[in-house]
């Protein structure tokens, strides 16, 4: 049986020391973010997570991309003011750094914020055509993915806005990014996806990732379908500071095993952990690992 991996959706809470950054400004010395990435990665490693992310400590997950894509600028919200173009690697350097921190046996997931989510979270002052904007974001993300695939074990695409209003071109949009990639891919859609499951199942990624802990009714919804993708089972809440016990998580995973049989390939928090206190996020990951280890059939 293929190993089921513990993983994360993306973000991890690390406190940024603003005064330290400011002192570097006053001394005119180089600013590095590696310290913060390292903290996030070390916590994931120490918690026992198998497939690790860079923690997305630099920015909220949309701003990481808005900040570096040509055609965008960040004001109160991100604004699109010109044609979207990928002009430089966005996340690649951080992944290279994370790889230097990983002990043997640990793997790395590279993360992309989905084109539809980018489209829905910006103020479009240029295109006036949502579909065209989404496809230009997808094109830019495809370029990022092509570089990224050489440095990571899997690429995850985070598309929370699909759960609010999935467009009829959702499949086409994601395919544009993943087509021809040599590494496996995961699509994460948080929120209640119960009404869009058939559309999600049309998308040819390797793994579908959803919030099964916050939306346990999804077990019943997925029961009605047969599908090829594997499942990343959201197993601890990312919007609640209560730390689930390993026993509670184990019971949840068992429910997942019952529903999906052998299709679970990853277990993770429901979503990014950015908004939780760091000690809470760490404990949740530890208990997630403990619960997975207690599953005897794995």
Q: What are the residues binding other proteins (CB under 8 A)?
A: 16, 18-19, 21-26, 28-31, 58-60, 63, 67, 73-76
- Please list the residues that pair with 79 across neighbouring strands: 73, 123
Residue number with CB closer to other proteins (23 or 217): 23
Q: How far is the CB of 75 from other proteins (least distance, A)?
A: 6
**Cα(276)–Cα(169) distance, rounded to whole angstroms?**
34
Residue number with CB closer to other proteins (42 or 59): 59
CA 245 vs. chain centroid, Å, equals 23
Residue number with CB closer to other proteins (60 or 204): 60
Q: How far is the CB of 98 from other proteins (least distance, A)?
A: 18
Residue number with CB closer to other proteins (22 or 164): 22
Q: How far is the CB of 10 from other proteins (least distance, A)?
A: 15
Local structure of residue 96 (DSSP, 8 states): H
Q: How far is the CB of 143 from other proteins (least distance, A)?
A: 21
Helix (H) or strand (E) holding 199: helix 197-201
Helix (H) or strand (E) holding 206: none
CA distances to 65, 124, 235 from 212, rounded to whole Å, are: 27, 33, 6
Q: Is 55 exposed, middle or buried (0-12, 13-18, 19+ CB in 10 A)?
A: buried
Label residues 212-227 b or e (16+ Cβ within 10 Å = b): bbbbeebbebbeeeee
Measured torsion, CA atoms of residues 219, 221, 227, 230, in degrees rounded to the nearest 10: -30
Q: How far is the CB of 240 from other proteins (least distance, A)?
A: 22
Q: How far is the CB of 25 from other proteins (least distance, A)?
A: 5
Residue number with CB closer to other proteins (58 or 199): 58
Residue number with CB closer to other proteins (67 or 143): 67
């Amino acid at each position: 049986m293929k190993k089921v991996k513990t993983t994360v959706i993306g973000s991890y809470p690390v406190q940024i020391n603003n005064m330290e950054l400011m002192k570097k400004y006053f001394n005119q010395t180089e600013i590095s973010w590696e310290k913060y990435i390292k903290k996030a990665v070390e916590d994931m490693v120490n918690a026992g997570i198998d497939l690790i992310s860079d923690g997305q400590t630099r920015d909220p997950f949309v701003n990481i991309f808005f900040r570096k894509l040509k055609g965008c600028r960040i004001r109160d919200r991100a604004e699109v003011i010109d044609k979207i173009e990928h002009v430089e690697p966005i996340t690649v350097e951080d992944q290279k750094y994370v790889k230097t921190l990983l002990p043997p046996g640990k793997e790395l997931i590279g993360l992309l914020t989905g084109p539809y989510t980018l489209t829905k979270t910006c103020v479009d002052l240029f295109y006036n055509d949502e579909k065209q904007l989404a496809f230009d974001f997808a094109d830019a993300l495809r370029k990022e993915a092509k570089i990224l695939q050489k440095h990571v074990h899997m690429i995850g695409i985070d598309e929370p806005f699909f759960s609010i209003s999935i467009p009829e071109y959702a499949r086409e949009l994601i395919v544009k990014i993943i087509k021809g990639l040599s590494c496996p891919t995961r699509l994460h859609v948080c929120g209640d996806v119960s009404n869009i499951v058939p559309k999600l199942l049309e998308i040819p990624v390797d793994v579908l990732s959803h919030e099964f802990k916050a939306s346990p009714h999804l077990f019943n919804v997925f029961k009605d379908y047969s599908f090829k993708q594997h499942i990343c089972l959201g197993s601890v809440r990312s919007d609640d500071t209560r730390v689930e016990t390993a026993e509670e998580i184990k019971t949840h995973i068992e429910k997942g095993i019952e529903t999906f049989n052998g299709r679970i390939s990853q277990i993770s928090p429901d979503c990014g952990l950015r908004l939780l206190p760091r000690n809470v996020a760490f404990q949740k990951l530890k208990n997630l690992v403990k619960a997975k280890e207690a599953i005897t059939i794995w």
